[in-house]
Structure 1
Amino acid sequence: MRIKNQLQPLADEEILEFETTPDSSPERRRGGLLHRLLRDKKAAFGAIVIVIFVILALLAPVFFPGDPTDPVANGSNPPSPQHLLGTTAKGEDVLALLLWGSRSSLAIGFTVGFSATLVGLLVGLASAYFGKVVDDVLSVVTNIFLLIPGLPLLVILAAFLPPGPGTIVLVLVVTGWAGSARVIRSQALSLRGKDFIDAAIVTGERPAYVMFREILPNMASVAMSTFLACVIFGIGAQAGLEFLGLGDLASVSWGTTLYWSNNEGALITGAWWTFVPAGTCIALVAFALAMMNYAVDQITNPRLARHRKAKKA
């Protein structure tokens, strides 16, 4: 039996045809997307930048053993051969703070991305699969979170909860899952009525199997795009909260580096080396993730795929 899946991920002339053979397995479909992403220059550039940041973060204890907040020289020294990015007003090495801070910022960003996407997947798939009362209830909850202004809710939750990485992750997941749930529900609804889904239900497959083994593999591009967007949100929102003084200021991250730089009057004194590197790192990581996100959309969106083929021709 041949089952056609008319999802948007490929161009109209390249509609996927999934057969009930090993070639149509979820692993093969995911592998096809990953293979095309690896060959895309934008995705490759974004992945290389992220890998470099991850490696530097892991090697931070090797390059700068000990506490990165310990003073190592006079305060507010500009970049020099001894301290490549200078020192803060308290005499801390800016490069050490940058590398150690990347561990916290990247860890929280990817944790928020995974957690928010997971919650969005559970809510979106359950809403689309079960429908009726379940869909109505979950849609109302999702709409409530979408209608609540994100920034005020972030500030309120962060202000009243005890500071720490767990609090930051919780706050960002609570305020960031609803958008992904809405997108995933919409995509899952377009698959819910397909023949291969009905066939799986008729054969007695459990709801969890149908949702995660039949529906989810056919929307891998949507899940990946949602995950990348949530990671960008997590890194940026953490930096914003900590810059406002609502995070754990005893920790070392890109956000706390910006906070202390502002508190020490770096803008007034012209000590640009204390805040420009951290801001540049946040921008570079966000840009790399955005490039990967754009590559996913360009590969799987039929309109963008046709436009890219037309430009090559």
Structure 2
Amino acid sequence: MTYFRPTSLEDALAVLAEPRPAPRRVLCGGTDAYADPGARPPSGGWLDISRLDALHGIAPRDGDLRIGAATTWDAIERCALLPASLREAAHQVGSRQVRVAGSLGGNLCHAAPAADGVPPLLTLDAQVELTSLRGMRRLRLDEFLLGRRRTALAADELLTAVLLPASATAGRTAFLKCANRDGTALAVVSAAVRLRWSESGVVSQAAVAVGAASEVPVRLRALEQGLEGARPDALSRLIRESPLPELAPIDDVRGSAGLRRHLARIAVERACARCMKEAGDGASA
């Protein structure tokens, strides 16, 4: 087994581009890799990108808010530049030890259905930056996440950043997680909401995403359309009446499909109520 820890992005990309019988496994915080009880050392070796300065930090750039892929959840939680929903989700990513070590990019590449960070990123219209020696490309987050543990990342690519457009950070946001116990438990269902109101007090824009109730976290486009144009006192009824057609929950040890669909409505309703409570434009709950 080989272990390579480059100090420049160029060196890391060159290693990924090398023809090998088996691909290297990329490692950053290691919180998913080390916690896998069935994991074996990868036959292609490890590529540790934790020391790449180009992958760290949160800063505005070219009209976007750029979050380096190696940025930890602890740093995201403490960054006042970021919307409340993403900081709230960061606070609930595992234990303190996991948040200090675990990275945003690693969480996205792991592509778990219950990933806490994905629903708020979906409501913020996040894009991912994928880089290789062939160049750089950008994908919407929903285009990048293809299924459970499946992404659009090519073998010679690194996820180098997550990009939030400035227009998507406007409005009030909230994240809510339903789990079987407090602390480090995986979500049975999680939900993120972003709402904006018009001067007349109705919802002018709504973005809603739910995690752990489908193969990947998804935007609830049908519900979003129903919420737009509605007054605050109608939101709860609209959420409870929506069939939530985008969801495809499963039965497992953490909850039944029926429970997940029920909790999805509760989580979205409470996240909307939190947005309304915090809004200072007369749309308080």
TM-score bracket, normalised by the shorter chain, equals under 0.3
Larger Rg: 1
TM-score by length of 1: 0.22
More strand by share: 2
The structure with the greater share of residues assigned to helix is 1
